């Protein structure tokens, strides 16, 4: 993916573009860091939020912080000033970026599988699978697997210095020496990771959506609570449920698939730098949206956040929050899909 034969002018970027990119990185850094830290604080402070499901969300937030709080500020400084870092520190920075990306993607799959098991399997299966020790091993495995994918890139020889390294901005992510996306192996590994996690996420949410569509009980996908005592002729709930599932899948696809195709096609042919940069910037928004995506409709998080806003910041661990009900569709519903048969059995 390097462009050693390109003329010097192809690396030059206007001042306005550099300012725009640096500003974008700065804004994503601020909002992404604040949102991820807020979610982590709520889960740590409120005991009722310390569940297996939220543990995977926190794992994703920690990975997102590696990108938002560490890598993005460095990139914004490099873009705006052109100040280059030492080879060792630059390799460390790119390693943190790759690690944060891969762990964050793995966390999306862990969350999707967790919701799939919670909603479609019996409670005994869920409780058996997501014991505390098992959850810890799943989270640890996501980091170890990411480190294993990173080692071949770390041990590879660095690329030669580009002739215009002092003028490269966001495009340098694909072209500069020892960059995580300029290495064919790292780029291929990241593309494969995105593809695998996309398959897992789509499969799990599709199964959840199908399961909920044939059920009488309405389930809130994003906060795992059974919504009881709803009239059967209540179409708005169906529409909202479909919107929640669709929102999770669409945001994930919109932010990840452009970069997936850029990385894959980029291994074969050279793509315009504008296309590569645009796909990367869209992908970066995923690290900002992740905490909001998985908590904005979760009543537990909303109650906890309101408690903090009301001034109970230092008493978060003692604030009462209603427990999450571990119920599943398969546990509540009979084998028949008929609503009449279900009502007859319940009566």
Residues 43 and 291 sit within 8 Å (Cβ to Cβ): no
3 within some domain: no
Contacts of 95 (CB under 8 A, 6+ apart): 150, 153, 154, 180
1 within some domain: no
- Helix ranges (H only) for 156-222 are 172-175, 184-213
**Which of 150-154, 191-195, 280-284, 335-339 has the lowest average pLDDT?**
335-339
Range of the domain at 157: 14-161+169-342
Mean pLDDT of all residues belonging to the chain: 76
For residue 7, what are the β-bridge partners?
Answer: none
Number of domains in the chain: 1
pLDDT at 176 over 60: no
Q: Per the structure block, which two tokens stand in for 192? A: 């494969």
Cβ burial of 100 (10 Å; 0-12, 13-18, 19+) is buried
Residues 149 and 189 sit within 8 Å (Cβ to Cβ): yes
190 within some domain: yes
214 within some domain: yes
pLDDT tens-digit profile of 259-299? Answer: 999 999 988 888 888 888 899 999 999 999 998 888 887 88
Q: For residue 26, how many other CB atoms are within 10 A of its CB?
A: 17
7 within some domain: no
264 within some domain: yes
**Residue environment code for 160-173, b if the CB has 16+ CB neighbours within 10 A, otherwise e:** eebebeebbbbbbb
* Secondary structure of residue 240 in the 3-state scheme: helix
pLDDT score for 293: 87
- With cut-offs at 50, 70 and 90, classify the pLDDT of residue 245: confident
Measured in degrees and rounded to the nearest 5, phi and psi for residue 197 equal -70, -30
* Secondary structure of residue 138 in the 3-state scheme: helix
- Measured distance CA(205)–CA(122) in Å, rounded: 17
- With cut-offs at 50, 70 and 90, classify the pLDDT of residue 335: very low
3-state secondary structure 1-22: CCCCCCCHHHHCCCHHHHHHHH
**Which of 132-141, 275-284, 297-306 has the lowest average pLDDT?**
297-306
Residues 88 and 154 sit within 8 Å (Cβ to Cβ): no
The residue-averaged pLDDT of 183-188 equals 83
Does the pTM surpass 0.85? The reply is: no
- Measured distance CA(96)–CA(252) in Å, rounded: 22
The CATH code of the domain that includes 85 is: 1.20.1070.10
- Measured distance CA(68)–CA(224) in Å, rounded: 28
**Rg of the Cα trace of the chain?**
23
pLDDT tens-digit profile of 42-87? Answer: 999 998 899 998 999 999 999 999 999 999 998 898 888 877 677 7
pLDDT score for 117: 92
Cβ burial of 15 (10 Å; 0-12, 13-18, 19+) is exposed
245 within some domain: yes
- Measured distance CA(267)–CA(183) in Å, rounded: 10
Better-predicted residue by pLDDT, 31 or 325: 31
- Measured distance CA(164)–CA(13) in Å, rounded: 10
Instruction: HSE, CB side, 13 Å, CA atoms: give it for residue 83.
Output: 8
247 within some domain: yes
Better-predicted residue by pLDDT, 171 or 115: 115
């Amino acid at each position: 993916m390097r462009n050693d034969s390109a003329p010097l002018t192809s690396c030059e970027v206007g001042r306005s573009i550099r300012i725009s990119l640096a500003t974008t990185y700065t804004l994503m850094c601020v909002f992404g860091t604040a949102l991820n830290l807020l979610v982590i604080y709520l889960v740590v402070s409120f005991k009722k939020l310390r569940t297996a499901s939220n543990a995977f969300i926190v794992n994703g937030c920690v990975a997102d912080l590696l990108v938002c709080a560490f890598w993005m500020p460095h990139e914004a400084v490099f873009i705006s000033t052109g100040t280059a870092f030492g080879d060792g520190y630059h390799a460390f920075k790119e390693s943190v970026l790759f690690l944060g990306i891969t762990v964050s993607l793995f966390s999306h799959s862990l969350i999707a599988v967790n919701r799939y098991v919670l909603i479609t399997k019996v409670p005994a299966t869920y409780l058996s699978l997501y014991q505390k020790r098992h959850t810890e091993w799943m989270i640890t495995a996501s980091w170890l697997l990411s480190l294993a994918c990173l080692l071949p890139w770390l041990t590879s020889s660095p690329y030669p210095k580009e002739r215009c390294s002092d003028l490269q901005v966001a495009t340098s992510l694909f072209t500069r020496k020892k960059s995580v996306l300029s290495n064919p192996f790292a780029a291929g590994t990241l593309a494969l990771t995105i593809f695998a996690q996309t398959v897992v996420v789509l499969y799990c949410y599709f199964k959840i959506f199908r399961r909920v569509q044939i059920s009488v009980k309405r389930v809130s996908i994003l906060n795992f609570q059974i919504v009881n005592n709803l009239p059967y002729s209540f179409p708005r709930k169906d529409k909202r449920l479909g919107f929640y599932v669709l929102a999770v899948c669409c945001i994930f696809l919109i932010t990840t698939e452009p970069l997936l195709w850029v990385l894959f096609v980029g291994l074969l042919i050279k793509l315009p730098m504008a296309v590569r940069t645009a796909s990367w910037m869209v992908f970066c928004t995923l690290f900002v949206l992740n905490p909001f995506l998985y908590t904005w409709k979760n009543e537990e998080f909303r109650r906890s956040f309101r408690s903090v806003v009301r001034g109970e910041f230092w008493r978060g661990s003692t604030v009462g929050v209603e427990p999450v009900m571990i119920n599943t569709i398969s546990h509540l519903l009979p084998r028949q899909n008929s609503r009449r048969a279900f009502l007859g059995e319940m009566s």
